[in-house]
Structure 1
Amino acid sequence: MPILSEIYVYPVKSLAGIRVAHWPVDHKGLLYDRKWMLIDSDRQFLSQRRLPKMALIKTCIADQQLILSAPNQADLALPLQALDGDDIEVVVWHDRCIAKTCGDNADAWLSDFLQTDCRLVYQTDDDIRKVDPNYALDSDQTSFSDGFPFLIVSENSLNALNQAMPLAIDMIRFRPNLVVADCDSYAEDTWRRLTINDIGFRLPKPCSRCSVPTIDPLTAETGKEPLTTLNRLRKWQNKVYFGQNALHDKPGSLSVGQTVLIDEIGEPQPPLSPP
């Protein structure tokens, strides 16, 4: 029986995530997941695709604060529930959202470490960012994720990929939210509906991968893997795929070790045979 083996929360889009044993789920996904985001002078979101050094900024949630840490920098602490900040329109891919600024100190701290002008913003609880209606219900929401509130990957998918590569990489390269153990490699390609702790999940779309998995999260150096191997094994319609995007039906909580009930399966997405 598949089980939930790892949970990851990414408070700030494209910064390092937090591995947790249990975590609340609200209507937008894991609580605080991608609630904050860096933007450039054009108010476009920033990510490791453009600034690999973002991988070196660690995040922590403690004492009702978001704490950012980076090499040779004093920690930056921000309130989880900020009551001020200016409204600002920001762009996440094709979506325009209203966010709030986090203040000059946060902007200076991040700009100094990344050596580029940037600002930190957060999504208020009242702001609604809907998921692509081609794959979601009208009620589905997300925060500043690329498009979906959850990314699900199985442990054995990574094991199979590592066996096919000249090096072994860690799951964190793929930035999943939920990792599932005790199932076949790429079993998640066939999952359409599943339940964990009475929360229903829909898996409408496989996750196409960009260059971020090639960035070593410990050094921010970029290599060729795993994209070279994914291009050989997991390519479809000129994109490579690893993991499944997911939507959830209601709030609740998740804990490592919980059973993953596979409620519905279908043809593999993408339509690839397991290597």
Structure 2
Amino acid sequence: MNPTLYFPIEACAGIDNSDAAPYDRQWLVVDAGWRRLTQRDQPKLAQVEVSIRFGYLVMRAPGMLRMDIPLDVIEDDDSVRRQAIIGTQTIDVVDEGELACAWISNCLGTPSRLVKVHPDAPAVRWDE
């Protein structure tokens, strides 16, 4: 039987841990123009391993220290609310901050940001 894969960070490596199900595709990586990055754009995203552990989204990549992002952050601070472009959609997202930005930019070798889909955003059409 094939395990169900979940992708807490869209375009990064999937995981088969059912604890990740509530977090499936809640995060994504965007470029400097706030456009979603895919593995076609940035093949190194496939090397970013993701897990959900002890209240954190944990990211690992070859040659890098791990990055832990708290899961229970309340997204009601408008100073971190942004808009990201996914295909033809513009959605509200929450910027995960400068440390996450530096980590993912270093990992990919290009300016990038880790963002979380805002809880009030409409359903995202990931196939665009």
Fold match by TM threshold 0.5:
yes
Alignment length (residue pairs): 125
Contact map agreement 2:45 2:108 (CA 8 A) in 1 = yes
Q: Secondary structure of the equivalent of 1:88?
A: strand
1:146 is aligned to 127
Unaligned runs of 5+ in 2: none
Contact map agreement 2:5 2:14 (CA 8 A) in 1 = yes
2:15 is aligned to 18
Structure-2-length-normalised TM-score: 0.89
Q: 1:91 aligns with which of 85, 110, 123?
A: 85
Matching residue's letter, 2:104: L
Contact map agreement 1:6 1:19 (CA 8 A) in 2 = yes
Identify, as 1 or 2, the structure richer in strand: 1
How many percent identity over aligned positions?
A: 26
Cα deviation 1:68-93 (Å, max 9, x = unaligned)? 00111110000112225611111111
Distance across 2 between alignment mates of 1:7 and 1:114? 27
2:122 is aligned to 128
Q: Secondary structure of the equivalent of 1:19?
A: coil
Distance across 1 between alignment mates of 2:114 and 2:83? 13
Contact map agreement 2:104 2:112 (CA 8 A) in 1 = yes
1:172 is aligned to none
Q: 1:107 aligns with which of 101, 104, 114?
A: 101
Contact map agreement 1:53 1:114 (CA 8 A) in 2 = yes
Contact map agreement 1:101 1:119 (CA 8 A) in 2 = yes
User: 1:23, CA displacement in angstroms?
Assistant: 5.2
Distance across 1 between alignment mates of 2:2 and 2:43? 27
Structure-1-length-normalised TM-score: 0.43
Distance across 2 between alignment mates of 1:54 and 1:146? 17
Please say if 1:118 is aligned against 2:127: no
Show the 5 A alignment for 1:39-58.
39-58=30-49
1:127–1:69 distance in 2 versus 1, CA, 3 Å:
same
Q: Pick the structure with greater CA Rg.
A: 1
Contact map agreement 1:92 1:146 (CA 8 A) in 2 = no
Cα deviation 1:230-253 (Å, max 9, x = unaligned)? xxxxxxxxxxxxxxxxxxxxxxxx
2:23 is aligned to 32
Matching residue's letter, 1:100: V
Distance across 2 between alignment mates of 1:36 and 1:82? 13
Unaligned runs of 5+ in 1: 25-29, 130-141, 148-275
Show the 5 A alignment for 1:194-205.
none
Show the 5 A alignment for 1:230-241.
none
Matching residue's letter, 1:44: R
Please say if 1:62 is aligned against 2:62: no
